């Protein structure tokens, strides 16, 4: 019996389109995989078997009529519980939102649906999608399927854990400070943070996003192959007039010089030997493919990271404190308190100053990425952390946020970043982050495919009981 859940999205779509297997067979296999693997990891927290089978039958019917079912024909996909999916609760990991039923699809969900994706479940996030681990008082604790002692990452920890465990070939995640890139790293898969405006997004059941989120928050794909990241991005990036930030930029840009910058210790980060080895290995893989790789510092990340946190926290202080009080989630309360400790409250002038200074950092990075179209940097200065490390003490929280500087600093410039897993042989997954110019995800995907091809393929994790 074929285990369709082990296949990539590209393989599934090709087989469904060729009628080698029906979308309904694939969906039933995916639902069985949830039953087998999810109890050990709690990645999927809202189930939708009826919708999945109905969508799969619609794909099969379209193919039978000779119609194009879409590039993701029959591909099992999960969505994150902080994006609207019509008829399901947008909980964002909160008890106070357990009955917040979405009136319509978020554009990214609508685009995946139109592309022929089959939604099989909704994935977990920390309360308020607030930190880099995944536990909340409503849905519980998500575990890393490769090693339950390690964090699955966050806030898209459920999405990454599901993909790593073969629960769906593609996971939709969101990223404002590493929430796609870090879970992909922790779970040993790939994850793309697109440029702002590349993938349309908006929650019809919620309020308008504040300006920091409008400048920095994105939806992006998590998958087990770079080809699947490319396929998913193409589907997610379709136009939707409901998002005024969406940009009709081509998915493939002009030719570019094959030059990459290798930066092992951005702004003096204490990068561990294991992470340094992964970075140098990725650089060698590109060099072996004919790229020029130069070890060089990158433009600032520390001050952009401070401004990112200040912009986000200024908005959260204004609009989230009452919700924090009502939800009273211990993890969220602790994380928010640590963020407030690290980030003094900004007045109106400081808020305006940060928005003004942002242009200068964008300019520095734009000029740097013209010379080096790819920057190879750490995802984190350390391998994936022990689970819930950041909740142990203020000192532990400081260690985590310092190690994740490349995650927090990058979004201020609205740049794309790609996590590429390079090594699953040790106790913790290892990988690198590739950073590119605005709307040049194609460059990151080309470099990522080279790095991927020169290493072992990503295998599906088999969590206990799966």
The set of catalytic residues is 80, 155, 179
Please spell the DSSP secondary structure of 366-385, one letter per residue. Answer: HHHHHH-SEEEE-S-SSSSP
What is the DSSP pairing of strand 292-295 with strand 259-262? parallel
Apex CA 391: angle with CA 215 and CA 37, to 5°? 85
193 neighbors 164 (Cβ within 8 angstroms) = no
Q: What is the DSSP string of 98-128?
A: TT-B-SS--HHHHHHHHTT-EEEEEE---GG
CA pair distance 136, 241, nearest whole angstrom:
34
| Phi, psi angle pair for 259, to nearest 5° | -125, 135
CB 196 within 8 A of CB 245: yes
Q: Is 405 helix (H, G, I), strand (E, B) or coil?
A: helix
Q: Identify which of 136, 132, 43, 135 has the alpha carbon closest to the alpha carbon of residue 97.
A: 136
Tokens read off for 320:
């989230």
Paired strand residues for 333:
none
- C-alpha–C-alpha distance, residues 186 and 151, integer Å: 7
């Amino acid at each position: 019996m074929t285990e369709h859940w082990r296949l990539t999205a590209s393989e599934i779509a090709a087989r469904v389109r060729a009628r080698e297997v029906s979308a309904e067979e694939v969906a039933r296999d995916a639902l069985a995989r949830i039953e087998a693997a999810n109890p050990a990891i709690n990645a999927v927290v809202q189930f939708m078997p009826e919708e999945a089978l109905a969508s799969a039958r619609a794909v099969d019917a379209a193919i039978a009529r000779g119609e194009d079912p879409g590039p993701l024909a029959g591909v099992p996909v999960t969505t994150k519980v902080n994006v609207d999916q019509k008829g399901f609760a947008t909980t964002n990991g909160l008890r106070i939102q357990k009955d917040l039923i979405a009136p319509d699809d978020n554009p990214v969900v609508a685009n995946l649906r139109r592309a022929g994706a089959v939604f099989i479940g909704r994935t977990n996030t920390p309360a308020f999608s607030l930190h880099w681990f995944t536990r909340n008082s409503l849905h519980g604790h998500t575990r890393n399927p490769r090693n339950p002692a390690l964090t699955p990452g966050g806030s898209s920890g459920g999405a990454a854990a599901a993909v790593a465990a073969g629960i769906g070939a593609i996971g939709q995640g969101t990223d404002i400070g590493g929430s796609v890139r870090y879970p992909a790293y922790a779970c040993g898969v790939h994850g793309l943070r697109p440029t702002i405006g590349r993938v349309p997004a908006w929650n019809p059941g919620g309020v308008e996003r504040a300006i920091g989120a409008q400048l920095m928050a994105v939806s992006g794909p998590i998958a087990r192959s770079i080809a699947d990241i490319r396929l998913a991005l193409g589907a997610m990036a379709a136009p939707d007039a409901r998002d005024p930030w969406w940009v009709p930029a081509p998915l493939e840009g002009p030719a570019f010089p094959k030059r990459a910058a290798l930066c092992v210790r951005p702004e003096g980060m204490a990068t561990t030997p294991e992470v340094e080895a992964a970075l140098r290995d990725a650089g060698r893989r590109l060099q072996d493919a004919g790229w020029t790789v130069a070890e060089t510092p990158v433009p600032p990340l520390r001050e952009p990271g401070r401004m990112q946190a200040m912009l986000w926290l200024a908005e959260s202080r204004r609009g989230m404190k009452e919700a924090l009080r009502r939800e009273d989630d211990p993890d969220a309360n602790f994380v928010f308190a640590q963020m407030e400790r690290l980030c003094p409250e900004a007045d109106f002038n400081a808020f305006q100053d940060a928005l003004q200074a942002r242009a200068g950092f964008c300019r520095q990075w734009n000029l740097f990425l013209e010379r080096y179209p790819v920057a190879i940097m750490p995802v984190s200065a350390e391998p994936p952390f022990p689970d819930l490390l950041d909740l142990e003490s203020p000192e532990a929280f400081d260690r985590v946020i310092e190690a994740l500087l490349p995650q927090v600093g990058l979004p201020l410039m609205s740049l794309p970043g790609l996590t590429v897993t390079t090594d699953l042989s040790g106790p913790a997954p290892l990988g690198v982050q590739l950073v590119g110019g605005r709307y040049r995800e194609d460059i990151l995907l080309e470099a990522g495919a080279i790095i991927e091809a020169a290493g072992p393929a990503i295998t599906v994790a088999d969590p206990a009981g799966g």
